[in-house]
Structure 1
């Protein structure tokens, strides 16, 4: 029993001012919203914030998923079994998902053969539907390119009577082994998928919305330009971050520069002056715990996809974070040996840093209290110093003028400038100039326009807009 995607109506997202905040502080732990089904709290998950803020990957190996207590299988899942007449033997919790529940479902086929299926259930209402549908379509696309590289997705659907609305994914069961897999075998398989895949339209994008964890991504559109699609995706993630954490003027400044200066500077050359890049099928969120070695075949595979067709190098952006085991240089080095960097090759590292921003910003949104917002600001600043230094440094000059107008005396202003210089590790030239700022979210001489977005992009009061220079 397969659900087909349904068209979504468009709504205009209202632009509202966000709260002004200062530099973020590092927390200690974050309790994920408890999983509640039909009034019963099934579990709480506490995330180690320092783990996601870490500057080094954990040294201990990732333990294999545990087979847990009984899992009650909904009638809608039984109806979706791929072989008619199959009988449910048992359901057991298997492993862990931060935002839902995962289980191993054992079934007896009509001929007496015993088979296992993997089940994921998201009790998150509409966003759960978007997550499940996106993962189903992602796995279907990856499996279509390389059947051994991803579990086959059999069906997705909705529980019959659960409250809140609960959506499920039923897929081929793979026994998870070593995570992440062997660097050479894994990266060779990943690069092969990137090379072999073909966008159905020849463009960048996807046919449905997919989610980074529980954050919808702007994927359900088709663009000739990779620069255009990535700018849309990063701008939307910046919007979600602003809604979650409030305004931080210095951060909003480098965000604006990233969208207006860095993305055109680093991504436009990929598709200009005779150069081109192929839209490759991406997993979309590869990190340590959605890659594994199959315990039966001993081959690497991936799961929990959030796919779209994009620049293959985007896939590697998540490996830059030192908190991931995939940040081990062996993974990047082996991947680049199989899939050589795009031209201009000398800017591969700059593009990799640019691509890491969206992953780290998503982590900042999903795990309050981690330091990833600061990491993103620092990395944006690093790129701005290299490619648009005048625009970057001018913000401090304008801020100094603003402070004087607000009645700060010279001593107060000097103390604040010294604190900022100490934070950034360098002095600011006296003659720096740039545009004047505002409180619009990205600041600095811009005006906002609401744009129509389908309802699956709406998270709380999250806003989306594009920027027009005044």
Structure 2
């Protein structure tokens, strides 16, 4: 198509004369028509739309692209102009052109890992994003202090987001994101009293607890993309170089960690090296001990078990999100009751572990929930005989272990096992301990033992392999003694006997404490005792204790 097909308003915005440019369809968008304008010297990317919200959408995208480009020019294309078209109705947006066609890359520059690839500026995508997130946002006109917000309304998808300025990040997040999207939902779908109550609880309880002014330290407004996921990043020729780039932003001046929500929810940024490079430039916001609390999402398998029911409120009390998986829908309300009065968010997913016979079935659930932590607290419980014990405690457990360890987004996997689930013996066991464990495993619970030890070793082997490339991955094997319904209390952890009792409440408390730390990994035997839980765990972490000692590690690790 010749320049006669280019709207005069677009030609004027580019200072092009008729006859000097051509236009062809290029790329795609769910909200607009997209095309490439070519001249003898350069190319431009143009969007046009006749939708009712096109003006707001294009004005927001224009301002967003330029806010990012002004800080890190190689990170996204510059937006040149936007406005109404002359011919017919609708609006346009014109930006610099990025050719995302891999056929244009030099053969030596074709890479699959965009988090590590380098463009002409010699910065990875992680480093570029970190530079964006470590540069204070500009001071808005009329203000003399930093503000969270944005000069114009932006759109995430087709949803307009108001961005009124406020000096408080907690206030901006509560008012202009949580309550704003609630209002949009009510306008589109009608009032929902239960949903409003839940959102207001988050605004009143969770936001001040985790994001409150004076609680988060060192937070300054920075420009964030606002809708950053795998579909809004790419690698291609940009101006004269090959670069990692991002596009289709919905920017605002925000806390940098706000960016992570969509990045982690929809994928594309799970490579451990990406986050290592990023945090070398941008430190985790203080209190750093709550960093994972601000982002953790737990998949709790076997959510109606007695330990799981006690563990759920402990995780929610940390403001973590929990998805509890059960097969019987009649248990849903009982599980939801455990979440009342706690700041975290609780969902119940109805799904049967009996049907999980391969990794793909477990991956389907992980892809749906997108957890950062997986907890296996499931078991056949002696119901269904040896066949069901093998199906749940071994086959399904191994499927979830494989899917979780192979998912870079999952950072921790905790399994509830039992103290005698091992083929060897640690050096601190007495002969009486060895005899007691052998009796349990060969005479009392032989089928359970074979299933559990198979799952335990599978986790140890796959975790050892993953840590070759991701040293931060945590596999946690919690191994109580004979379970009781006593109240939670003090413990003995680590070098224990093979004989003793452990309350379910204590087991849950220890599980929560282990998950709250960044350096807990390996096997932890636990009984009721006389030590404080946190002090006992911290002492073991300090000495890098792992109760797997005494097992044939060469044999176990060879399984992977």
> Normalization by structure 2: what TM-score?
0.48
Q: 1:295 aligns with which of 237, 242, 248?
A: 237
Aligned length: 300
> 2:125 aligned with 1:161, yes or no?
no
Structure 1 counterpart of 2:71: 145
Q: Distance in 2 between matches of 1:100 and 1:120?
A: 6
Q: Distance in 2 between matches of 1:264 and 1:302?
A: 32
Q: 1:196 aligns with which of 124, 127, 135?
A: 135
Structure 1 counterpart of 2:331: 422
Structure 1 counterpart of 2:519: none
User: Aligned-pair RMSD on alpha carbons?
Assistant: 3.5
Query: Given that residues 231 and 259 in structure 1 are in contact (C-alpha distance below 8 angstroms), is that contact kept between their aligned partners in structure 2?
Result: yes
Q: Which has the larger radius of gyration?
A: 2
Residue 147 of structure 1 deviates from its aligned partner by: 1.5
Q: Deviations over 1:96-117 (max 9, x none)?
A: 111111111112xxxxx43211
Query: Given that residues 145 and 197 in structure 1 are in contact (C-alpha distance below 8 angstroms), is that contact kept between their aligned partners in structure 2?
Result: no
**Residue 215 to residue 384, structure 1, CA distance change in 2 (3 Å):** farther
Please list every run of 5 or more consecutive structure 1 residues that lacks an aligned counterpart in the other structure. Answer: 1-67, 108-112, 355-380, 393-417, 435-470
**Residue 337 to residue 248, structure 1, CA distance change in 2 (3 Å):** farther
Q: Distance in 1 between matches of 2:314 and 2:173?
A: 17
Query: Given that residues 2 and 19 in structure 2 are in contact (C-alpha distance below 8 angstroms), is that contact kept between their aligned partners in structure 1?
Result: no
Q: Distance in 1 between matches of 2:217 and 2:162?
A: 25
Q: Distance in 1 between matches of 2:333 and 2:242?
A: 47
Partner-residue secondary structure (3-state), 1:227: helix
Q: 2:254 aligns with which of 310, 313, 317?
A: 310
Q: Distance in 1 between matches of 2:57 and 2:94?
A: 13
Q: 2:217 aligns with which of 275, 291, 302?
A: 275
Structure 2 counterpart of 1:320: 264
Matches within 5 A, 1:68-107: 72-81=5-14, 83-85=15-17, 87-107=19-39
Which of 1 and 2 has higher RCO (CA within 8 Å, sep 6+)? 1
Q: 1:386 aligns with which of 298, 309, 317?
A: 317
Partner-residue secondary structure (3-state), 2:242: coil
**Residue 285 to residue 71, structure 1, CA distance change in 2 (3 Å):** farther
Structure 1 counterpart of 2:187: 243
**Residue 89 to residue 388, structure 1, CA distance change in 2 (3 Å):** closer
Q: 2:55 aligns with which of 124, 129, 132?
A: 129
Query: Given that residues 151 and 173 in structure 1 are in contact (C-alpha distance below 8 angstroms), is that contact kept between their aligned partners in structure 2?
Result: yes
Q: Distance in 2 between matches of 1:243 and 1:328?
A: 39
Q: Distance in 1 between matches of 2:315 and 2:230?
A: 30
Q: Distance in 1 between matches of 2:170 and 2:336?
A: 33
Q: Distance in 1 between matches of 2:269 and 2:26?
A: 24
Q: 1:339 aligns with which of 282, 299, 304?
A: 282
Residue 76 of structure 1 deviates from its aligned partner by: 1.3
**Residue 308 to residue 89, structure 1, CA distance change in 2 (3 Å):** same
Residue 176 of structure 1 deviates from its aligned partner by: 1.6
> Normalization by structure 1: what TM-score?
0.57
Residue 293 of structure 1 deviates from its aligned partner by: 1.3
Q: Deviations over 1:264-321 (max 9, x none)?
A: 11101xx316933110011111111221112352221112121110000111111222
Query: Given that residues 216 and 285 in structure 2 are in contact (C-alpha distance below 8 angstroms), is that contact kept between their aligned partners in structure 1?
Result: no
Residue 245 of structure 1 deviates from its aligned partner by: 3.9
